[in-house]
């Protein structure tokens, strides 16, 4: 299984600011995924990040709000821009591991005041 | 898009009990996975099981792809089994669609 780390583990941000979340994997992977989990809810895919190309966003998520970088095969960042209280969520990155199983990072818990 | 429904939404059991969690999906899939989210928020991959049966210790899972459902069995529950169990299916290109989860509480 892949070992995934995320930074920061949690943060409290003011309305109107931005937060950049880092995701680091211990092996090279083709695709990395970013998910959002709103309080008490399930996970929703935000986008797929491929190295060397633009991220692919799911319906309801736009690049201006959630810009993503993928500079190499082990690292990605997700920025949540122009924060509002509705952005308070857990943000998780994931990768495909052995046997087509998907593995998740520990998540970043964001609170927007 | 594909719909994923899990039941029951909540389940409260005593330590030592057995449980069965169900996942129904609305279309054929080539990838179904079960996850456990512990009380600290960490998601643990339990099974990749697009069809058939797998077992891992006290946990086992069965997927009947032709009837579009999957079951997760937990035997001899322990308090550490508490948390939310999600099933997720692949809507293409390894993009997972998650069900709403079953919140399991195991009381000592």
Give per-residue pLDDT as tens, B3-40: 999 999 999 999 999 999 999 999 988 899 999 999 88
Q: How many angstroms separate the CA atoms of A3 and A48, rounded? A: 18
Q: Are strands A19-25 and B4-7 parallel, antiparallel or unpaired?
A: unpaired
Interface contacts (A, B; CB < 8 Å) = 51
In this prediction, residue B35 carries a pLDDT of 98
The pLDDT value given to residue A81: 98
**Residues A109, B41: C-beta atoms closer than 8 Å:** yes
* Chain A residues whose beta carbon lies within 8 Å of the beta carbon of residue B33: 101-102
Is residue B70 within 8 Å of B76, Cβ to Cβ?
A: no
Closest CA to A16 of A111, A109, A99, A82: A82
The whole-number pLDDT of residue A52 equals 82
Query: How confident is the model at residue A97, as a pLDDT?
Result: 84
On the question of pLDDT at A21 being above 80, the answer is: yes
Residue B14's φ and ψ, nearest 5 degrees, are -90, 150
The closest CB to that of A42, out of B93, B95, B98, belongs to B98
Cβ B98–A43 below 8 Å, yes or no? yes
Which stretch, A90-104, B25-39, B72-86, B92-106, has highest mean pLDDT? Answer: B72-86
- Structure tokens given for B95: 């993009």
Residues of B with CB under 8 A from a CB of A: 31, 33, 35, 41-43, 45, 48, 86, 88, 93-101
Sign of CA dihedral A40, A43, A44, A47: positive
Burial classification of residue A47, based on how many CB atoms lie within 10 Å of its CB (0-12 exposed, 13-18 middle, 19 or more buried): buried
Could you tell me what percent of chain B has a pLDDT over 90? 88
What does the alpha-carbon distance between residue A40 and residue B41 come to, in Å, rounded to a whole number?
11
Q: With H, G, I as helix, E, B as strand and everything else as coil, classify residue A100.
A: helix
pLDDT the model gives residue B86: 98
> In b/e form, how buried is each residue of A69-107, taking b as 16+ CB within 10 angstroms?
ebeebbebbbebbebeeebbbbbbbbbbbeeebbbbbbb
- Find residues 10-49 of chain A whose CB sits inside 8 Å of chain B: 31, 33, 41-45, 48
The tokens for B27 are 């279309």
Q: Do A42 and B33 touch (CB under 8 A)?
A: no
pLDDT at A65: 98
Q: Is the pLDDT of residue A92 over 90?
A: yes
Helix (H) or strand (E) holding A10: strand A10-13
What DSSP designation does A69 have?
Answer: E
From its phi and psi, is residue B87 left (phi > 0), alpha (psi between -120 and 50) or beta? beta
Q: Please name the residue ranges forming H helices in A1-113.
A: none
Among chain A residues, the shortest Cα distance to B86 is held by A42
Looking at residues B39-65, what average pLDDT do you find? Answer: 95
The reported pLDDT for the residue numbered A53 is 85
**Lookup: tokens for B15:** 């330590």
Instruction: Using CB atoms, pick whichever of B42, B48, B99 lies closest to residue A42.
Output: B99
């Amino acid at each position: 299984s892949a070992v995934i780390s995320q930074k920061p583990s949690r943060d409290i941000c003011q309305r109107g600011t931005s937060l950049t979340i880092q995701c680091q994997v211990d092996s090279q992977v083709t695709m990395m995924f970013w998910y959002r989990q709103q309080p008490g809810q399930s996970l929703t895919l935000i986008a797929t990040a491929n190295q060397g190309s633009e991220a692919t966003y799911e319906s309801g998520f736009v690049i201006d709000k959630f810009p993503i970088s993928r500079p190499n095969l082990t690292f990605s960042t997700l920025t949540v821009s122009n924060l509002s209280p509705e952005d308070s969520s857990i943000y998780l990155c994931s990768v495909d591991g052995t046997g087509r199983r998907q593995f998740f990072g520990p998540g970043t818990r964001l609170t927007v005041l | 898009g594909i719909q994923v429904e899990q039941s029951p939404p909540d389940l409260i059991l005593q330590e030592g009990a057995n449980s069965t969690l169900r996942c129904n999906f609305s279309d054929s899939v080539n990838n179904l996975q079960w996850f456990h989210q512990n009380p600290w928020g960490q998601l643990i991959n339990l099974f990749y099981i697009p069809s058939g049966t797998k077992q891992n210790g006290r946990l086992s899972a069965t997927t009947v792809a032709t009837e579009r459902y999957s079951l997760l069995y937990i035997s001899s529950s322990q308090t550490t089994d508490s948390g939310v169990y999600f099933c997720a299916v692949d809507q293409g290109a390894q993009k997972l669609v998650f069900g709403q989860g079953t919140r399991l509480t195991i009381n000592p």
